[in-house]
Amino acid sequence: MKFFIDTANLDQIREAQELGVLDGVTTNPSLMAKEGITGRNNILKHYVDICNIVDGDVSAEVIATDLKGMIKEGEELADLHEQIVVKIPMIRDGVKALKYFSDKGIRTNCTLVFSPGQALLAAKAGANYVSPFIGRLDDISTDGLSLIAEIRLIYDNYQIETQILAASIRHTMHIVECAKLGSDVMTGPLSSIEGLLKHPLTDIGLAKFLADYKKGN
Ligand code: G3P
């Protein structure tokens, strides 16, 4: 499973990259705003800065909600850097935009996906990635992880190549469960990735190894 970090914070992106396990980055307008990145030019520059830190795919989201606007913005984003993947919302014109970009060979990530039907539609339209938001489903007392399982089943039934990018990951166990369910990618905060490191028996075991070494040296 590929690991993407879900942030626009350059320090956190660098930290994940230095850990050596980062395969890409996802952003959205809320994450950009959180870092105080505003204005079209600053936003575009920030995407290039992110691409220069990581080796893998960087999802950059369109703001327009009409087909013409999404095409204009998406082409501008794709021209920024070869690592850019254009992020398109799962709305009617978004589906048309996915098909347009797919025909043009521009890679896409369909975002704000909350049902298996939406995921099927995104795949039919040629999306490279589909982003089911599991944490937000959990927030409304629905099982977000079961959506990953349902999409996996549907895609496997037809050998669909669209990659399942589990998004709205909130914690470490979401990552582990997504891996068990066969998600192709997960995108989460740095804390969720770092949580994978931790086990008290590792710390206790290492302390004992070091203490025993000291006794003999
Ligand atoms: O990748 C989607 C993500 O940014 C949404 O996460 O925590 O706002 O639901 P969250």
Q: What is the pLDDT of residues 175-187, one digit of tens each?
A: 999 999 999 999 9
Atom nearest to 168 CA in ligand 1: 6
Pocket lining: 28 vs ligand 1, CB cutoff 6 Å: yes
Q: How far is the CA of 191 from the centre of ligand 1 (A)?
A: 14
- Looking at ligand 1, which residue's alpha carbon is closest to its atom 9? 168
Residue pLDDT, tens place only, 68-83: 999 999 999 999 999 9
- Looking at ligand 1, which residue's alpha carbon is closest to its atom 1? 167
pLDDT reported for residue 40: 94
Interval 132-141 mean pLDDT: 98
Q: Which residues contact 163 (CB under 8 A, 6 or more apart)?
A: 2, 128, 129, 130, 184, 185
pTM score above 0.85: yes
Q: How far is the CA of 142 from the centre of ligand 1 (A)?
A: 16
- Looking at ligand 1, which residue's alpha carbon is closest to its atom 5? 168
Pocket lining: 27 vs ligand 1, CB cutoff 6 Å: no
Pocket lining: 129 vs ligand 1, CB cutoff 6 Å: no
Pocket lining: 135 vs ligand 1, CB cutoff 6 Å: yes
Catalytic residues: 87
- Looking at ligand 1, which residue's alpha carbon is closest to its atom 8? 168
Pocket lining: 162 vs ligand 1, CB cutoff 6 Å: no
Band (51; pLDDT cuts 50, 70, 90):
very high
Mutate to test the pocket of ligand 1, among 57, 59, 113, 168 (most ligand atoms within 8 A of CB): 168
pLDDT reported for residue 44: 97
- Looking at ligand 1, which residue's alpha carbon is closest to its atom 2? 168
Interval 163-181 mean pLDDT: 98
